[in-house]
Chain A
Amino acid sequence: MDITGLSLTTITLFIPMIGLFILLFMNGETQKDNIKWVAFGTSIVAFLASVLMWINFDPGTAELQMAQRNTWAEVSLGASVINISYFVGVDGISLLLVLLTTFIMPIAILGSFGSNIFEERGREKLYYIFMMLLEWSMIGVFVVHDLIIFYVFWEVTLVPMYFLIGIWGAEDRIYAAVKFFLYTMAGSILMLIAILYVGNTSGTFSTYSAGGDVGVIEMVQTYEGDGAYWDPVDGGEAAAEDAGFSLGSVESFLFLGFLVAFAIKVPIFPFHSWLPDAHVQAPTAGSVILAGVLLKMGTYGIVRFNLTLFPEASVAWAPTIAFLGVVGIIYGAWVSYGQNNVKKLVAYSSVSHLGFVVLGIFALNSQGLQGATLQMVNHGISTGGLFLIVGMLYERWHTKEMADYGGIWKVMPAFGAISLIISLSSMGLPGLNGFIGEFTILLGSLGSDYLTFAFTLFGTLGVIMAAVYLLKMFQHVFMGEHDNPLKDESGYKLRWNEIAAFIPILIMVFWIGIQPIVFFNMLDISVDNIVALFVP
């Protein structure tokens, strides 16, 4: 099968790049009004392209679809030559996350229209250039299947996000931006060593097989020697073969090399300390993208690389990582409840929600993984929406303290209703999207061969706690007396772009909640393909 031709995936991937170049050659002063429209238009085109991918997508096969693979460079390592290839393509999991990315981006851009960060800090053109760069690199992370190119996209996402937080953030933005940069880089750079080891051992950086070249995943799966693929045992002694997996083995270290990078990004407890700072200081659109897409890169990476490349290590580490996930669920919820800062509350709720995703992944069964993937999307939509709400409140009242709010519902009833729906979706009310994801994950962890009942029990506790802190927020902000009225009465009206940003979010909240089968169908075969590794 020749897959060197231009594919739809490539087109989708490079649409933001085209937008970036158009923006680069526009004048930041004279064409100020057009800049945001170019950025918004580009993100809409990218969204349409990804919808086209969805239409072309055949959910009945586990193969990579709309794939393209071109040799990019040849690295000589000793006697062997290793190809680095531009290798893109989607399966159900990738496609869903690409859709999430292209869905969130226009919303984030719409949410920044007319924002007062540009009055304070200016540089609107640079802002949208970074948005385009961010979209390009995030889509890249979700579609590439070559480890080196994956690493390139992975690291590149750092740069625009660093600037978005650093230039347009709140008071402590420099601290938050530098912390974000160093923290994530420290994690991911160890992954580089693990990637180099993988390439060196298997002779290729491509994970999937394509065009006659065998990928790493297939090598791992079809390995028939003694010991694990990464830890071959010389001599083939029966004793060594039966020795099983040891936590000090090479595979275990490689697994951890990848996992630390992803765990920091997710973030899995105890690697979460950069997240509240970054979220609180980031501008609204930055928070929306951070929560909506960037964190999903971590969980996606675990599914895509940790599980498939190191199946034995995944099994061995599953209870530990799932335990950290559950700790994250409860810890995140607990800390979230204690916050007075509304943005911090939502930030910690991310730690809690992503704990569910981690729990679902390491259930290592079909329900768990499907639920986890869907929950990534749900969290992106709900928490993205919550950050939009917080951003709109901040634009009007210039405070993030919950005590300064109250009775917003009385003055902005429509906004209150929207916020209620999104909060309910985030806490997992049946009929809305959050419920589907969390329920499936808990189902998965209950049926898991590798996790005990206690994981499910404590996980379920998290659902209740989510209701507690989100209702606390809702009560303090929207209920009660409105004793902090705006000087400028026009602020009580929602602007057109704010309404436009909420509409797609609400549609998705109900659509996933009522008809999840559409999305599960997309994931079914792709997830089974991975889960097949873990059937005991």
Chain B
Amino acid sequence: MFEAPTIAEFLAHSNLASTAPATLLALWTLLLVLVDLFLPEDRQGWTPVLACVGLGISFILNLFVYSPAASEQVALYGMFVADAFTGFLNVVILVATLIAVLMSWDYLNRADIHRGEFYILALLSSAGAMFMVGANDLIVVFVALELLSIPLYILAAFRSIKNDGSDLALKSEESGMKYFILGAFSSAFLVFGSALVYGATGSTNIPEIFALAGSIVGTTSSAMFYLLIGAAMLFVGLGFKVAVVPFHMWTPDVYEGAPTPVTAFMSVTAKIGGFAAMLRILVTGLSVLVLAEGQPATWQATVSIVAILTLVLGNFVAISQRNLKRMLAYSSIAHAGYILVAVAAAGTANVVDAATQSALVYMLAYMFTNLGAFAVVMAIEKEDGSGGNIEDITGLARSRPLMAMAMTIFMLSLTGIPLTAGFIGKFMVFASAVQAGLFGLAIIGVLTSVVSAFYYIRVVVNMYLRDSSGELQPALETRYVRWAIHIALAGTMIFGIFYPLATNLVSGVSIV
């Protein structure tokens, strides 16, 4: 029934070129495995450099393959779609990986866990994320998700390769284990959901699901029942990945235990991959799931409720955290809630594009800001893992004015104060929610922003307003860490001040 194409046929018809940024990054990574093997002991530093070269190549290819104005192209026999959505998120993922690599080098050396595999795993994970944002088929979603996740499980436990029985190694091991078990669990949901959707519609291809679901929606057939259950399970599976309430339980422990650069990296890339797949599945595939003509998609109400829970719980629990990494973990849950607001808005037919675009801008802003915040936290963290509590940042403004200013801007951006990227993201998300008529959601969104201001401002209070007895010397403040902070700061400021920049980049995005 299915005839495999020959290699020549495959190359001729698969439109492989459109997948080049992701494919070549994966190939480069595999090459890097070999190169790393033969690198002499004293040339260990080449691996991260080569990893950055790979990111650069992928970035340049991405510029060639996608442009905001280009029409969408389908590749790999309809399993991968190359459109402005994919292109934009590829850039976000690549920049995030670059910042994470910059953060990692000195951190790993200090902890004496420097291995070339670290960069290989990180690059593989981001290749997985890049496949995920272009996935046009439930099977590709699953495969890409595994490619994204499995390296992350290992990375989370990376500290334990130096098994000295220390608390840090144990915590890292716990983190990896917890992440793995719950990740595998969520993958099962995703697979089962895919199977049910396939059973109901007869296809795993997302646009085809859209076309086929049209005939069963509104009927009382069992197919409709399975479609709804399947859709719910897909949402649950991806909900685990992006850590929305009530599927968030793993987040604080995993984020706290993992090495800080890994935490930073996964708090961004895993979310981007997960939300991209969620948008594709819900908006492109299942927007047809309506109860009556002209109404928003049925999943809008579900997504709204989950968004409200996420916003409220994430923000309120973050208040009581003393550890900065844990605080950022809960805040990242809250930010997933804001992106969910955009996803919910996308359930209304005429807001789809605006909502999708707002989600993308939000992810861009969140990427720069969150990575920057994590980089600062990493810089002040001591080697034994202490010094990452909120009062430990006291006095940073005196000893490192620039770093403190950067942290202040990151905190203001996470709060959503104008002239930072975070405001643009929030503004667009709430604009689409208002446009979709989701006023309750928008109002809860802005009110929880005020709650978030409370704990973000506390960081600024400690840096500037409290007098410290001694000068705070950041424990890990090397050239590369500073670069990472500066890149994140530049992104947060530039996109915050030059508002049209972000909107122009996403203006061509449309995934319906």
Do A and B bind?
yes
Residues in chain A within 8 A of chain B (CB atoms): 72-79, 84, 148, 151-153, 155-156, 158-159, 162-163, 166-167, 173-174, 177-178, 181-182, 185-186, 189-190, 192-193, 196-197, 199-200
Known contacts A74-B503, A152-B418; A193/B430 CB under 8 A: yes
Give Cα A152 to B454, complex, Å. 20
Give Cα A153 to B418, complex, Å. 8
Q: Which residue of B lies closest to A154 (CB)?
A: B418
Cross-chain contact B357 with A76 (CB below 8 angstroms): yes
Known contacts A72-B500, A190-B443; A77/B418 CB under 8 A: no
Cross-chain contact A189 with B450 (CB below 8 angstroms): yes
Return 7 A-B CB contacts under 8 Å, by A number.
A73-B500, A73-B503, A84-B499, A155-B417, A178-B457, A185-B415, A193-B439
Cross-chain contact A75 with B431 (CB below 8 angstroms): yes
Cross-chain contact B430 with A196 (CB below 8 angstroms): yes
Q: Mark B438-467, 1 if CB is under 8 A from A, else 0.
A: 010011001101100110011001001110
Cross-chain contact A190 with B417 (CB below 8 angstroms): no
Cross-chain contact A148 with B427 (CB below 8 angstroms): yes
Give Cα A64 to B190, complex, Å. 59
Question: Is B175 located at the chain interface by the 8 A CB criterion?
Answer: no
Residues of A within 8 Å of B450, CB to CB, are: 182, 185-186, 189
Interface centre among A76, A79, A162, A163 (most CB of B within 10 A): A76
Question: Looking at the complex, which one of B443, B453, B499 makes contact with A193 (CB distance below 8 Å)?
Answer: B443
Cross-chain contact B417 with A159 (CB below 8 angstroms): yes
Known contacts A84-B499, A190-B443, A196-B434; A174/B427 CB under 8 A: no
Cross-chain contact B464 with A76 (CB below 8 angstroms): no
Give Cα A76 to B510, complex, Å. 12
Residues of B within 8 Å of A181, CB to CB, are: 453, 457
A138 to chain B, nearest CB (A): 14
Residues in chain B within 8 A of chain A (CB atoms): 350-351, 353-354, 357, 412, 415, 417-419, 423, 427-428, 430-432, 434-435, 439, 442-443, 446-447, 449-450, 453-454, 457-458, 461, 464-466, 499-500, 503, 507
Q: Which residue of B lies closest to A257 (CB)?
A: B443
Cross-chain contact A78 with B351 (CB below 8 angstroms): yes
Give Cα A193 to B350, complex, Å. 19
A132 to chain B, nearest CB (A): 15
Cross-chain contact A174 with B434 (CB below 8 angstroms): no
Give Cα A159 to B466, complex, Å. 17
Residues of B within 8 Å of A200, CB to CB, are: 431, 434-435
Cross-chain contact B499 with A192 (CB below 8 angstroms): no
A216 to chain B, nearest CB (A): 15
Residues of A within 8 Å of B432, CB to CB, are: 77
Give Cα A162 to B408, complex, Å. 12
Q: Which residue of B lies closest to A173 (CB)?
A: B465
Known contacts A178-B457, A189-B449; A77/B500 CB under 8 A: no
In the A-B complex, the 8 residue pairs with the closest CB atoms: A152-B418, A73-B500, A189-B446, A78-B350, A166-B465, A196-B434, A186-B450, A155-B418
4 further interface pairs, Cβ-Cβ under 8 Å (given A75-B354, A156-B417): A74-B500, A159-B412, A162-B457, A193-B430
Residues of A within 8 Å of B503, CB to CB, are: 73-76
Residues of B within 8 Å of A152, CB to CB, are: 418-419, 423
Cross-chain contact A174 with B466 (CB below 8 angstroms): yes
Cross-chain contact B428 with A75 (CB below 8 angstroms): yes
Residues of A within 8 Å of B465, CB to CB, are: 166-167, 173-174, 177
Residues of A within 8 Å of B354, CB to CB, are: 75-78
Give Cα A75 to B350, complex, Å. 14
Q: Which residue of A lies closest to B434 (CB)?
A: A196
Residues of A within 8 Å of B430, CB to CB, are: 192-193, 196
Give Cα A462 to B465, complex, Å. 38
Give Cα A152 to B465, complex, Å. 25
Secondary structure dominating the interface of B: helix
A83 to chain B, nearest CB (A): 11
Interface centre among B431, B432, B446 (most CB of A within 10 A): B431
A398 to chain B, nearest CB (A): 19
Known contacts A152-B419, A177-B465; A190/B500 CB under 8 A: no
A514 to chain B, nearest CB (A): 42
Residues of B within 8 Å of A173, CB to CB, are: 465
Cross-chain contact B350 with A79 (CB below 8 angstroms): yes
Cross-chain contact B453 with A182 (CB below 8 angstroms): yes
Give Cα A181 to B412, complex, Å. 12
Residues of B within 8 Å of A72, CB to CB, are: 499-500
Known contacts A186-B447, A192-B427, A193-B434; A76/B453 CB under 8 A: no
Q: Which residue of A lies closest to B450 (CB)?
A: A186
Give Cα A153 to B454, complex, Å. 21
Cross-chain contact B461 with A197 (CB below 8 angstroms): no
Cross-chain contact A166 with B464 (CB below 8 angstroms): yes
Cross-chain contact A73 with B446 (CB below 8 angstroms): no
Question: Looking at the complex, which one of A76, A78, A178 makes contact with B461 (CB distance below 8 Å)?
Answer: A178
A363 to chain B, nearest CB (A): 32
Give Cα A339 to B428, complex, Å. 46
Residues of A within 8 Å of B454, CB to CB, are: 178, 182
B131 to chain A, nearest CB (A): 28
Q: Which residue of A lies closest to B464 (CB)?
A: A167
Give Cα A76 to B458, complex, Å. 36
Known contacts A182-B453, A185-B450, A192-B446; A76/B507 CB under 8 A: yes
Cross-chain contact A185 with B499 (CB below 8 angstroms): no
B454 to chain A, nearest CB (A): 6
Q: Which residue of B lies closest to A155 (CB)?
A: B418
A486 to chain B, nearest CB (A): 28
Residues of B within 8 Å of A185, CB to CB, are: 415, 449-450, 453
Residues of B within 8 Å of A156, CB to CB, are: 417-419
Give Cα A178 to B459, complex, Å. 11
Give Cα A75 to B353, complex, Å. 11
Residues of A within 8 Å of B434, CB to CB, are: 193, 196-197, 200
Residues of B within 8 Å of A148, CB to CB, are: 427
Give Cα A174 to B467, complex, Å. 11
Q: Which residue of A lies closest to B501 (CB)?
A: A73
Residues of A within 8 Å of B418, CB to CB, are: 151-153, 155-156
Give Cα A166 to B463, complex, Å. 11
Give Cα A74 to B457, complex, Å. 31
A173 to chain B, nearest CB (A): 7
Give Cα A411 to B443, complex, Å. 57
Give Cα A152 to B416, complex, Å. 11
Cross-chain contact A196 with B431 (CB below 8 angstroms): yes
Give Cα A155 to B500, complex, Å. 19
B360 to chain A, nearest CB (A): 13
Residues of A within 8 Å of B457, CB to CB, are: 162, 178, 181-182
Give Cα A185 to B461, complex, Å. 16
Interface centre among A148, A174, A185 (most CB of B within 10 A): A185
Residues of B within 8 Å of A158, CB to CB, are: 417
B362 to chain A, nearest CB (A): 14
Interface centre among B423, B457, B458, B465 (most CB of A within 10 A): B465
Cross-chain contact B499 with A73 (CB below 8 angstroms): yes
Residues of A within 8 Å of B442, CB to CB, are: 193, 196
Question: Looking at the complex, which one of B351, B428, B447, B464 makes contact with A189 (CB distance below 8 Å)?
Answer: B447
B182 to chain A, nearest CB (A): 34
Cross-chain contact A163 with B464 (CB below 8 angstroms): yes
Interface centre among A151, A167, A193 (most CB of B within 10 A): A193
Cross-chain contact B464 with A77 (CB below 8 angstroms): no
Give Cα A343 to B267, complex, Å. 48
B447 to chain A, nearest CB (A): 7
Give Cα A185 to B443, complex, Å. 14
A361 to chain B, nearest CB (A): 26
Interface centre among A73, A151, A177, A192 (most CB of B within 10 A): A192
B497 to chain A, nearest CB (A): 10
Residues of A within 8 Å of B431, CB to CB, are: 75, 77, 196, 199-200
Residues of B within 8 Å of A84, CB to CB, are: 499
Give Cα A77 to B350, complex, Å. 9
